[in-house]
A and B are shown apart, each in its own frame.
Chain A
Amino acid sequence: MSQDSDIVREAIKLEINGRAFFEHAVSQTGNELGKKMFAKLANDEIGHLKAFGQIFSSIVNDDEWKSLVAQEENERSEIIEQLKRRMQDAARNKRAGELEAISIGMELERKAIDFFDKSADATFDPKLKQALKRISDEEKFHFDLLQAQYDNVTNSGFWFDVAEFRMDGRY
């Protein structure tokens, strides 16, 4: 139970930080397709937070859940400031800053994947285990999408439309 509560806290933090970073990336990316991709990723993280909320309301009560989310929302600025600085440092030009945003996004996704996979193995709650595995799979999709986008922007200089992304190596 205590372990599951810790998982809840960390999951909230990861999703809130992920969403905040991707929202920042939307505002920093000039290309419309790039904006669209980061907006989709931010939106997906909101979906994950809601999904965790539904599951975790049975682990922690509703008030505690809301309090945890509010607390993490307040603290998110610190990590976002660090990431903003990295983007600025990398931004010798607009494209370098955008590539750094993709790279940071991949790091955040990688942390989330590692955490969700380990937590899925650690928990004894079947519903929580199932949810963690499902959300980890979605984060892996995000990671692959970001990797393919990085590859495409590096090689061709163009962004692809997130709606065209398929797992067949075209992008």
Chain B
Amino acid sequence: MTGTRKPARTLDCVGLYCPQPLFQTRESMDRIKGGEILEVLADDPAAEQDIKRLAKRTGHKILLFEKTGTVLRFLIEKIER
């Protein structure tokens, strides 16, 4: 399912440290429409926990989370409320 849906926006936070990936993810979520997907790339290990909690708190859906080497990749669907 997620493989067929392309992200509306990609946010590259590689090289950025907490709390920057979180701030930028939040800001990017505001720039896409409900139902669209944001792709986030980060390599700060803290981003895994922080972005997952952000999605839970704000009601958006993490469709995919994967690690390739040190890079974390999230696909987050914006849930309009």
Residues in chain A within 8 A of chain B (CB atoms): 103, 106-107, 110, 113-114, 140, 143-144, 147-148, 150-151, 155, 167-169
Contact = CB atoms under 8 A, between A and B. Distances in A.
Contact of B18 (A107, A140, A150, A168): A107
Interface of B: 18-19, 22-23, 26, 30, 46, 49-50, 53-54, 57-59, 81
Nearest to A171: B57
A113 B19 CA distance: 13
B56 to A, nearest CB: 8
B59 A114 contact: no
B23 A140 contact: no
A169 B59 contact: yes
A150 B23 contact: yes
B58 A110 contact: no
Contact of B57 (A106, A144, A150, A155): A144
Q: Is the interface of A mostly helix, strand, loop or mixed?
A: helix
Contact of A147 (B26, B30, B49, B59): B26
B39 to A, nearest CB: 20
A144 B53 contact: yes
| B interface: dominant SS | helix
B18 A147 contact: no
A107 to B, nearest CB: 6
Contacts of B54: 144, 147
In order of increasing CB-CB distance, the 8 nearest A-B pairs are: A169-B58, A106-B19, A110-B18, A169-B59, A169-B57, A151-B26, A167-B57, A110-B46
A152 to B, nearest CB: 11
A113 B23 CA distance: 18
Given A110-B46, A151-B26, A168 B19 contact: no
